Structure 1
Amino acid sequence: MSGDHNDELPPLLLEKEVADFLKSSWRGDQEVEDEDGVGSKIFDRLLKCLGTPPTVTTLRVNTLAADKHVVAKQLKSELEKQYNDRGSNPPPIVLHPALKDVLVIPSRGPNPRPPEVVKEVIVDLACGMAVLRGADVFVLGIMGAPGYLQAGETVAVYADLEGQCRKGLKEEYRERKIYVGCGVMQLSRDQMFCSAQVKLRGVGIKMTQPLYEAPSLDDVLPELLFAQNLPSIVCCMVLDPQPGETVIDMCASPGGKTNHIATLMNNEGRVVALDKTAMKVEKVTNNLARWNLTCVDAYTFDSTKCSDENADISGTPPYPPGSFDRVLLDVPCSALGQRPSARNRMTLKSLQSYSTYQRRFIEAGVKLLKPGGTLVYSTCTITMEENEHQVAWMLDKYPDLQLDEQHPHLGDTGRPCKGLTATQLSLLQRYDPTSDTSQSKYFTDNDTIGFFIAKFVKKKEMDS
């Protein structure tokens, strides 16, 4: 991958100490690995899966504003225009058979790099990963381009795997890079790097022959559609918020789940959305405004400190214990389930710090939950320490919590874990890209990001 044209995406590249730690724990809490090393093989396959994008794009429909069949027809028209510009036929739009507000679009790829395209443009890694999910290249993501490159030229786009490309590079980039597709320059090199004008924004390269064909959804029916990973959608359906209830989303940014909660509640009741920084809360409010959702109060606040005996439920945080019918705890995590991900520089110390940090959110969330209420704990990571081990810890620390059945349950069950029975593991929902897809109920659920969901109910005093 250093200056060659090997277009196959590599497995997720981790720091060695992190990879060794994850591999050793991937077999779960079983005493030994089988003689053939199946656990290691599965882990290697997991890293390969994490380096590639999911094979479908899932879109949640604003059912408060329009019928999903009408929205699907509008989306079809938008995709026909988009794919016509690319010179290819649009993919089908499928109504998800189990999730009544979800549309699914299959992806295509990997596609070979056209041999006639010789000029290469380097983009930063985050930009490259977005391209693999269907995005065009925005100007701010472009790091290097050949001299004399003009608008209208077709270029091969490579993502910088090492983060070493200096802005404005003219020469060939010889560090590790990965091919993500070909596209047409919307600006010249001079416009991008040598202009004295106001800093440029917008699309710099229109992707016409991406490695993986997925729809570009920027500004496509934003008032009617929300692009969201399937497990994130399932997470809020498992929470099952009802109109008129009081619900808290303790780690709300960027606001997709908050938006979904308010929609499931028919915009009736009260949703409190918290995040620690003002910029993240602004993302939440923007995503709510797109769908005109008014039942949400979003605040910049540290959720680990949002329970206070002397507080008032009606205003700003903190709040009294037992204030909420439902609590969503989509906690900060190592995010190792996100796809595609080509490079992660997280240290082992950082990885191992998450479980302790998450417990501060858990403690606050359990306090805020009413007796008889529902708490959903979720992550977008693959580690047992942040998933099954946290569930075992919660059940041990809080005798008034019990696991509850999840509906819908489209993922796998939990991995073997000390402290959890087979019945308890069956109540957990884990999305694992290495799963045997032939066993999935629906083809739409075969290939997702890594994700984990646990649903708890707090016992009423009379049940204790």
Structure 2
Amino acid sequence: MEDIKEWLSLPPQYTTFRVNKLKKFDCNTLETYLSTKAPELNTTSLPNYYFLKPDCLVVEQWPVDVKVDKGRKEVIVDALCAAAVLRGAHVFAPGVVGMPTNCQLDEMVDIYGDIDGQCKRGLKVTFQGRKLFVGTGVLKMLRRDLFDNGVQPSLLQAFIIAMDKTRQKVEKLKENCIKQGVTCVTAYAFDSTKCCSNDSKNIDSGPPFPPNSFDKVLLDAPCSGLGQRPQLNNKMTPKMLESYKVVQRKLMKAAVDVLKEGGTLVYSTCTVTIDENEGLVQWTLENFPCLRLVPAEPLLGGPGLSGSGLNDDQRVMVQRFGPEVDNLRLAEPIYRDSIGFFIAKFTKSH
């Protein structure tokens, strides 16, 4: 338990990017961009980068000699935003909770994460609570734009239907598809637990859909998110943890119903709990005899956890990305230093 707690508290050493093969990718552009950032970090060295797969770019951490000059003013962000910064993300408006009144555009500021979630949104003075320095950056938005204007958190071509019950996420997905030149995705804001209905005749009119409608289903289930690294502040309670598997089971039933016979179902989470991962696989196999567990290839992560309810033949078919070393299938270090997540794959028989 202590090993996984320590692992979860650290940012990954590797950042992976999915490269859009519909567009040209120029490594020279990436290298030029990194070169422009090196002086800001007071280094002449660049991070290593390489392609793990044709569409999977890996960028390692900057060399250890990096030194960032700190600013004179503090910007406070929530713990989730701080964790994202430690993984290399920019700070976006919804994550900012406190900023001095006298900041100027393009000014260098220090970013601190509010570890305990105690900073009152819109704070103007120095935050005295528990905080963690996560980086330095250039300010691109003033506090009046953040707080006074009400900014709040918030081939073969396939035909893809995407669903999420949150309309804002669906709109963002549509924007990204347009930006990336993807034209084969239709997205709906809909409760996926209710996506199957015997009264529906076809898929053209949107959800709910008739049974046996789809060749493939990806169930990227809502989960406790305990694989996100680093974990700077976690207020998850046992009751909250129990609630996720209830929703996941409802979603799994709906996914099985809309999947065609002979089709493929992939289940994934970004968490490390047994109940939401191996436990969900065990429950699925017990309740849906039509499903068969198959290897979630390519097998890059480690096997499922021992003692989780799956036998060795089943454990070796799923993938768990975490710090564990299991001789059943040894994962390379790069796959043990990602965020924590899980993948299982099923096929549906007649």
Tell me if both proteins adopt one fold, taking TM over 0.5 as the criterion: yes
| Residue 44 of structure 2 is aligned to residue 60 of structure 1 | no
CA contact (8 A) 1:63 1:101 kept: yes
| Residue 227 of structure 2 is aligned to residue 273 of structure 1 | no
Match of 1:76 in 2: 31
- Over the aligned positions, Cα root-mean-square deviation in angstroms equals 3.1
CA contact (8 A) 1:143 1:169 kept: no
Match of 1:314 in 2: 204
Match of 2:125 in 1: 170
Q: Distance in 1 between matches of 2:256 and 2:89?
A: 39
Identity, in percent, stands at 41
CA contact (8 A) 1:72 1:103 kept: no
Match of 2:174 in 1: 285
CA contact (8 A) 2:42 2:67 kept: no
Name the SS of the counterpart of 1:427 in structure 2. coil
Name the SS of the counterpart of 2:316 in structure 1. helix
Q: Distance in 2 between matches of 1:200 and 1:396?
A: 49
Match of 2:133 in 1: 179
Q: Shift in Å at residue 149 of structure 1?
A: 5.5
| Residue 190 of structure 2 is aligned to residue 301 of structure 1 | yes
Name the SS of the counterpart of 1:344 in structure 2. coil
**Mean Cα deviation higher: 125-134 or 395-404:** 125-134
- The amino acid that maps onto 2:46 is P
TM-aligned CA distance change 1:320 to 1:138, over 3 Å: closer
Q: Shift in Å at residue 413 of structure 1?
A: 0.4
TM-aligned CA distance change 1:118 to 1:433, over 3 Å: farther
Match of 1:104 in 2: 58
Q: Distance in 2 between matches of 1:404 and 1:365?
A: 17
TM-aligned CA distance change 1:117 to 1:298, over 3 Å: closer
Match of 1:402 in 2: 292
Name the SS of the counterpart of 2:32 in structure 1. helix
CA contact (8 A) 1:192 1:200 kept: no
Q: Distance in 2 between matches of 1:57 and 1:402?
A: 33
TM-aligned CA distance change 1:457 to 1:182, over 3 Å: same
| Residue 264 of structure 2 is aligned to residue 374 of structure 1 | yes
Name the SS of the counterpart of 1:343 in structure 2. coil
- The amino acid that maps onto 2:323 is P
Q: Distance in 2 between matches of 1:267 and 1:289?
A: 19
- The amino acid that maps onto 1:131 is V
Name the SS of the counterpart of 2:236 in structure 1. coil
CA contact (8 A) 1:375 1:457 kept: yes
Match of 2:7 in 1: 49
CA contact (8 A) 1:410 1:440 kept: no
- The amino acid that maps onto 2:118 is Q
- The amino acid that maps onto 1:55 is Q
CA contact (8 A) 2:324 2:336 kept: no
Q: Shift in Å at residue 313 of structure 1?
A: 2.6
**Mean Cα deviation higher: 368-377 or 123-132:** 123-132
TM-aligned CA distance change 1:333 to 1:116, over 3 Å: closer
Match of 1:122 in 2: 76
CA contact (8 A) 1:371 1:458 kept: yes
Match of 1:192 in 2: 143
CA contact (8 A) 1:161 1:176 kept: yes
Q: Distance in 1 between matches of 2:258 and 2:101?
A: 59
Cα offsets for 1:76-125 (capped at 9, x unmatched): 222222334443333122111xx221111001377898798665443332
| Residue 348 of structure 2 is aligned to residue 390 of structure 1 | no
TM-aligned CA distance change 1:267 to 1:73, over 3 Å: farther
Cα offsets for 1:48-79 (capped at 9, x unmatched): 2212211111111111222xxx5323222222
- The amino acid that maps onto 2:178 is A
Q: Shift in Å at residue 441 of structure 1?
A: 5.8
Q: Distance in 2 between matches of 1:307 and 1:363?
A: 10
Q: Shift in Å at residue 269 of structure 1?
A: 2.9
TM-aligned CA distance change 1:115 to 1:91, over 3 Å: closer
Q: Distance in 2 between matches of 1:117 and 1:65?
A: 38
Q: Distance in 1 between matches of 2:49 and 2:179?
A: 23
Q: 1:325 aligned to 215, 218, 222, which one?
A: 215
The number of equivalent residue pairs is 344
- The amino acid that maps onto 2:175 is N
Match of 1:28 in 2: none
TM-aligned CA distance change 1:113 to 1:102, over 3 Å: closer
- The amino acid that maps onto 2:16 is T
Cα offsets for 1:297-355 (capped at 9, x unmatched): 11111111111122113331111111111111111111111112211112211111111
Q: Distance in 2 between matches of 1:122 and 1:418?
A: 40
**Mean Cα deviation higher: 121-130 or 328-337:** 121-130
Match of 1:7 in 2: none
Any gaps of 5 or more consecutive residues in structure 1? 1-42, 202-253, 255-265
Match of 2:42 in 1: 87
TM-score (norm 2): 0.87
- The amino acid that maps onto 2:82 is G
